Amino acid sequence: MKSVDSGVKSHSTCFAFTPSEIAKGLYLYPTWIGHYYCTTDYFMNRDFFPDLLLVYVRKGEFYVDYMGNHYTAEKGDVFFIDCQQPHHYWASNDLEFLYIHMNGSNSHELAHHIIAHHGILYQGDNARAIGKQLYSIVEQCEKDEVIAASDFSLLCYRLLMLLMRKGDPEEGEANPIDESIKYIRENVGKKITLDELADNIGLSKYHFSHLFKKQTGYAPMEYVISTRLDRAKILLKTTSQNVTEIAYEVGYENVGSFINLFVNKEGISPSAFRKTVNTKRT
């Protein structure tokens, strides 16, 4: 289908998608997908549009005003915005870009998280991977290939996950947060402090905590607790150790503190959890 937007050249293509009620309730789904070639007449200035927008620039420059800031996306760059916020974007001459509008279950909450932690402008390997994925989707649409709603949802999630991996180190480069995670897992039964974790990789507590939460979604000590609980669940399911022994093995000298924490996080006691996961068929 040809676009009728101002400044979009005639050999551009776009495709519209109307989601099913099931897709609206359960999935991420595309609403528009396209490959545009533009002149400087192309622009969009809106206070509100219901969808998210993900763009990959193949040629030229794409200018964006969003949330009080100005951005320039160049060849190989990606930008991502929630169009429910006021937005203004426009083209340089000979701009070429791929785009997808998407919506769906928790999509705007996910977008808020991504933009808050990673921004709206992306470069590097992940941006290029997004460009390849978008180009492949457009090709499938141009061939009238049928893409199931569940497959479209998976494609949308993959694109968003690539955004969340912004800033990952190059292959082979050490990631200090990964090293901290490995240390926590290997020492889950020992006393672990925030000072120790930060000192191990040579960062201040504040900077370390910020990087750790950005990568994992957990504060460092929350991750320590989660790792201890994960290990305790495995021991409850796979061993005959009593609760006191398990509490000690995962770093709690006071079994009462361990039980209270387990109940608070899981909603049941360790003993009840063991009975639940080890129930045998009759």
Give the predicted TM-score (pTM) of the model. 0.76
Burial state string for 265-277 with b = 16 or more CB within 10 A and e = fewer than 16? eeeeebeebbeee
Assess whether pLDDT exceeds 80 at residue 86. Answer: yes
CA 152 to chain centre: 16
**pLDDT the model gives residue 111:** 96
Fold of 176-277: Arc Repressor Mutant, subunit A (1.10.10)
**pLDDT the model gives residue 275:** 92
Assess whether pLDDT exceeds 80 at residue 168. Answer: no
Assess whether pLDDT exceeds 80 at residue 20. Answer: yes
246-269 mean pLDDT: 95
**pLDDT the model gives residue 229:** 96
Place of tokens 């039980």: 259
Q: Find out whether 28 and 157 touch, Cβ atoms under 8 Å.
A: yes
**pLDDT the model gives residue 282:** 44
d(CA 90, CA 65): 9
d(CA 90, CA 40): 7
Average pLDDT, the chain: 92
- CATH fit for domain 13-164, picks 3.40.50.10860, 2.40.30.40, 2.40.30.10, 2.60.120.280: 2.60.120.280
Boundaries of every domain in the chain: 13-164, 176-277
Q: Is the dihedral of CA 114, 117, 120, 122 positive or negative?
A: negative
Contacting residues for 2 by C-beta, under 8 A, at least 6 apart: 10, 12, 13, 14
Ordered alpha helix ranges (H), 67-124: 107-118
124-145 mean pLDDT: 94
Burial state string for 127-159 with b = 16 or more CB within 10 A and e = fewer than 16? bbbbbebbeebbebbeeeeeeebeebbebbbeb
**Helices (H) then strands (E): counts for the chain:** 11, 10
pLDDT interval class at 166 (50, 70, 90):
low
**pLDDT the model gives residue 214:** 81
> 192 to each of 197, 212, 221, how far by Cα in Å?
7, 15, 8
Assess whether pLDDT exceeds 60 at residue 33. Answer: yes
Assess whether pLDDT exceeds 50 at residue 4. Answer: yes
